[in-house]
Structure 1
Amino acid sequence: MYKFMIGVLALSFSVNVLAWGQIGHRVTGAIAQQHLTAQAQAAISALLPNEDLAEASTYPDEMRSNPDEFWQKKAGPFHYVTIPRGKTYPQVGAPEEGDGVTALSKFTETLKSSEASKEDKQLALRFIVHIIGDLHQPLHAGDGTDRGGNDFKVNFFWQDTNLHRVWDSELIEQRKLSYTEWTEKLSRKISEQNVERWKTTDPKVWIAESIKIRNEIYPEEKSISWDYLYNHLPQAQERLKMAGIRIATYLNDIYK
């Protein structure tokens, strides 16, 4: 019965939500590109000869309007997980239709398979880059009560919006930087110690980190601006950096 309820909660999460927006996803892909091993870089270039990871990272969101059944019926749950407050992902698991963790596992199998087509491997690679980014956005580990913050209405810098959108894009876009400027800015602040500390390919670790942040970012006041930006933009920047390193680590592990 509990598993059934989690499935219902997951279905209630809007399939139209995006994570990080295009700028944020491209930043994670661009950072990852800088930390690939030569072997991983060669394999990825052979699979996507005219596409870097920054471009690949946004593909699953860009295809949401594709009328094909895969994009309209199956792919929506791949972008998030649902964990009620006080629970962990291992305690809850995935609903019947799957989630970001199960999709990551399946796409990893495809990428490693000697029998999968090149087209299937291209899709798998794009989704892997995207899903890892998604799981580092705190509200893509929603608690099932407000569609990952989509139903939590706020006024951000005097514009009506919702908390999910603030974290997807508005925190980042407020600085008026391109994704290449963000990548340069954040990459300079990633130390060798950061890389070693963040190297983990276990999505349960990423999700636990996102849950901890998720539980701290709901504002008491619905009108938020400079104070909220000051307190939480550093968290968003840290998650982008961590996602980039972990995308690279994950792909380096696949191609080792």
Structure 2
Amino acid sequence: MRLALLLVLPLLAAAPAQAWGPVGHRVTGAIADRNLSGVARARVRLLLGTEDLAEASTWPDDMRSDPAEYWRRTASPWHYVTVREGDRYAASDVPKEGDAVTALTRFTATLRDPGASLDDRRAALRFIVHIIGDLHQPLHVGGGDDRGGNDVKVTFFGAQSNLHSVWDSGLIEQRALSYSEYADWLSRSITPEQTIGWSLCDPDIWTRESIALRKTIYPADPNLSWDYAYRHRAELDDRLRRAGARIAACLNAIFDSPRQP
């Protein structure tokens, strides 16, 4: 297994930064699917057809390959936030081009709007699933001094990488699980108390959690291996669990509204 991992890691290191990577996003989407209310599940089906939330979760990253200005420049800042001072996201942190939190607010309004077009509501749903996942990746709530860990060069199991890529994909791929296996494992470990505790759709809570975790994950030694992966495994699993449960909580709150078309 270690040989296979070493062969894959150079490819991960060369990939563009995408919070959680496709496997991590699909894990959060699959967990969310398991926690939708009956009404929310029906509303999602009306919008996406046979596409589930795991599939929808990677769409905003997949579309970055589109050469259109919207995907290459306009939508690019909507995957992260920057908090330059303090431990809490504030209105003063919002750049003129917007960020993940402002995009989430806007897409939530679109999804709630009975007058919005089907295409706009479908895109809004996919973005909401994706952005909530992004905000639970600690390096997507960055401090503005190292591009969310992209400038922090490390080796991961001997391969050249950076800290952002390690948290996007490296730690997840190191588990050698499919997204459905990983989601099954994590879903079974979510307690009723946790489901209730994570039911608030509040980005302020998520960003504060990510900031607190971010401060603990910068390594003293840039050569990362089994020790680093083991030390942060529980934290990684916790962020994925919370993201999935909160995606469901937000969609339940949106779709259980009587304003839905």
Q: TM-score range by the shorter chain?
A: over 0.9
The alignment-based identity, stated in percent, is 55
Q: CA deviation at 1:17?
A: 2.3
Q: What is the aligned partner in structure 2 of residue 250 from structure 1?
A: 250
Q: What is the aligned partner in structure 1 of residue 240 from structure 2?
A: 240
Provide the rounded CA distance (Å) in 2 between the counterparts of 1:232 and 1:89. Answer: 24
Aligned length: 241
Q: CA deviation at 1:91?
A: 5.9
Q: What is the aligned partner in structure 1 of residue 167 from structure 2?
A: 167
What are the within-5 Å matches in structure 2 for residues 125-144 of structure 1?
Answer: 125-144=125-144
Q: CA deviation at 1:87?
A: 4.3
User: SS in structure 1 opposite 2:39?
Assistant: helix
Is the 2:139–2:149 contact (alpha carbons within 8 Å) kept by the matching residues of 1?
Answer: yes
Provide the rounded CA distance (Å) in 2 between the counterparts of 1:216 and 1:85. Answer: 17
Q: What is the aligned partner in structure 2 of residue 60 from structure 1?
A: 60
Provide the rounded CA distance (Å) in 1 between the counterparts of 2:246 and 2:58. Answer: 17
Q: Which runs of 5+ in 2 are unaligned?
A: 1-15, 257-261
1:198 is the counterpart of 2:198:
yes
Q: Which runs of 5+ in 1 are unaligned?
A: 1-15
Is the 1:83–1:92 contact (alpha carbons within 8 Å) kept by the matching residues of 2?
Answer: no
Q: CA deviation at 1:85?
A: 4.5
Pairwise CA RMSD: 1.0
Q: CA deviation at 1:66?
A: 0.6
Q: CA deviation at 1:93?
A: 3.1
User: SS in structure 2 opposite 1:241?
Assistant: helix
Q: What is the aligned partner in structure 1 of residue 89 from structure 2?
A: 89
Provide the rounded CA distance (Å) in 2 between the counterparts of 1:114 and 1:244. Answer: 26
Is the 2:100–2:135 contact (alpha carbons within 8 Å) kept by the matching residues of 1?
Answer: yes
Q: What is the aligned partner in structure 2 of residue 39 from structure 1?
A: 39
Provide the rounded CA distance (Å) in 2 between the counterparts of 1:164 and 1:233. Answer: 16
Query: One-letter code of the match for 1:185?
Result: W
Q: CA deviation at 1:86?
A: 2.6
1:50 is the counterpart of 2:46:
no
Q: What is the aligned partner in structure 2 of residue 208 from structure 1?
A: 208
Is the 2:87–2:208 contact (alpha carbons within 8 Å) kept by the matching residues of 1?
Answer: no
Q: What is the aligned partner in structure 2 of residue 4 from structure 1?
A: none
Provide the rounded CA distance (Å) in 2 between the counterparts of 1:85 and 1:209. Answer: 15
User: SS in structure 1 opposite 2:25?
Assistant: helix
Q: CA deviation at 1:90?
A: 1.8
Query: One-letter code of the match for 2:243?
Result: A
Provide the rounded CA distance (Å) in 1 between the counterparts of 2:171 and 2:149. Answer: 14
Query: One-letter code of the match for 2:27?
Result: V
Q: What is the TM-score of this pair, normalised by structure 2?
A: 0.90
Provide the rounded CA distance (Å) in 2 between the counterparts of 1:121 and 1:194. Answer: 29
Provide the rounded CA distance (Å) in 2 between the counterparts of 1:21 and 1:224. Answer: 19
Is the 2:87–2:212 contact (alpha carbons within 8 Å) kept by the matching residues of 1?
Answer: no
Q: What is the aligned partner in structure 2 of residue 77 from structure 1?
A: 77
Query: One-letter code of the match for 1:96?
Result: K
Deviations 1:30-88 (A, max 9, x none): 00000000000001100101200000000000000111121112100100000125342
Q: What is the aligned partner in structure 1 of residue 224 from structure 2?
A: 224
Provide the rounded CA distance (Å) in 1 between the counterparts of 2:42 and 2:105. Answer: 22
